[in-house]
Each structure stands twice: as C-alpha cells, then as structure tokens.
A and B are shown apart, each in its own frame.
Chain A
Amino acid sequence: DAMVIQNPRYQVTQFGKPVTLSCSQTLNHNVMYWYQQKSSQAPKLLFHYYDKDFNNEADTPDNFQSRRPNTSFCFLDIRSPGLGDAAMYLCATSIGQGITDTQYFGPGTRLTVL
C-alpha cells in the first residue's frame, strides 16, 4: 500500500545532542511537510518542500533544518535539541498545491529530550 513512513516512531535524545528524524513516501507526491505537534495543540508547520524547493516558515527556529535528497525521502535535523523541542513530529505529503489536494500523514515520531 502506498503510504508515508516515519522512523523511528519513538526517539529519545539528550539535551544538545543532534538528532535526525526520517520520513519516506511511496505516493510519489511532489510536496513533503514537517509539522511539530505538542501535547493538546495544533500541528504547527515547520517547513515544506515542493519538489526540491525548500520553504521555511518564518517562525521556525534555526535549530531545525531539513533535507530532501530525492522525491521519496525527507529528513528533519534538530541540531541542538532543547527540552522545549520534545513533541510529536509529523511528516505529510500532498500531490501539489491544488485547492482539492489533501495531505497524507505518517504516524509521527515522538521525540523525548532528556
């Protein structure tokens, strides 16, 4: 089945230790997104790629970076995780930017910072 896969599902890191979260998709979608979702809050868009074009949200901290080496894979790098970065990180994809395009989400990676 075509899907969005996130690995790992649970990630524990230490304060200040770089961590990378990964996302892959078999949908061949053009757009890939990374969201941060804290407990009982709305998913917050960090950045997205339209093909290779990177689009950063204005309020995304510099501590967060992303790579998309090919259509299928996208990575979220947190250079120096702080306690406030503990959250669920959701990857999503969409075909494009049409007004009827919906987003397909992965199961998320829950990040714990010790």
Chain B
Amino acid sequence: SQQGEEDPQALSIQEGENATMNCSYKTSINNLQWYRQNSGRGLVHLILIRSNEREKHSGRLRVTLDTSKKSSSLLITASRAADTASYFCATDDGRQGGSEKLVFGKGTKLTVNP
C-alpha cells in the first residue's frame, strides 16, 4: 500500500523563487528519502533523513521531518529552470535494522518558469 503522499501534486513557480513540497506518511519509519525524476528518466536520490533527525541540508535543498505529524517537507531555494522535474518522497517500512524496500508517493510535478 502507498506510504507517502506528496502535496501539492503540481507546482509552478518563477525562477529564483523557493519551492516547497510536502509528504505525509502513515506508519513508523527508519528514514525518509526524496528522489527527483526528470521527464522520461530514472529517479535520482537527493537526500535521506533518518527518523531521529529533524532537518537536513544539501546545497539548495532543505528537508525537514516531523515524526509526530508523520510528515516531511522538501524546500528548494532559489529555484532554476533545471529544477523542473517530479519529486518523490519514499519511506521504508520501519522494520528494525532497516529494510531494502521503499514505498514511493505519487510525486509533486515542479515546473520552474524562466
């Protein structure tokens, strides 16, 4: 069953603006990951945040995790046209020691207009 749900489904912004995408999940997790997918391509891993972490940064990306609300957000600052892609959150199933399985949400389609 689907674990993550992204919000919004689609987001259109101007270059230079910040983009925020949210993800909610249902069960306990060990980690939450964000992936990016350019149109017609495979997914690329962006960032992983563990359940005992609250915030993580990578370049222009900032991810927060609120395990009490079972939600995460991905912020892309100073967006560029090249950031246009779909963004997916993915969670494991919370098993102790980890799990090789991920469950992906439906994704947020981000369009950054030049």
Contact = CB atoms under 8 A, between A and B. Distances in A.
A joins B in a complex: yes
Interface of A: 4, 6, 31, 40-45, 48, 50, 88, 90, 92, 94, 96-108, 110
Given A96-B100, A97-B100, A90 B42 contact: yes
A45 B101 contact: yes
27 contacts: A6-B42, A40-B107, A41-B106, A42-B2, A42-B105, A42-B106, A42-B107, A43-B104, A44-B104, A48-B101, A90-B42, A92-B42, A96-B100, A97-B99, A97-B100, A98-B98, A99-B30, A99-B92, A99-B97, A100-B48, A102-B33, A102-B45, A103-B45, A105-B35, A105-B44, A107-B42, A108-B40
A108 B42 CA distance: 5
Contacts of B104: 42-44
B41 A100 contact: no
Contact of A100 (B42, B50, B88, B107): B50
Contacts of B35: 105
Contacts of B72: none
Secondary structure at the B interface, as helix, strand, loop or mixed, is loop
A62 B111 CA distance: 38
Interface of B: 2, 30-31, 33, 35, 40-45, 48, 50, 88, 92, 97-107, 109
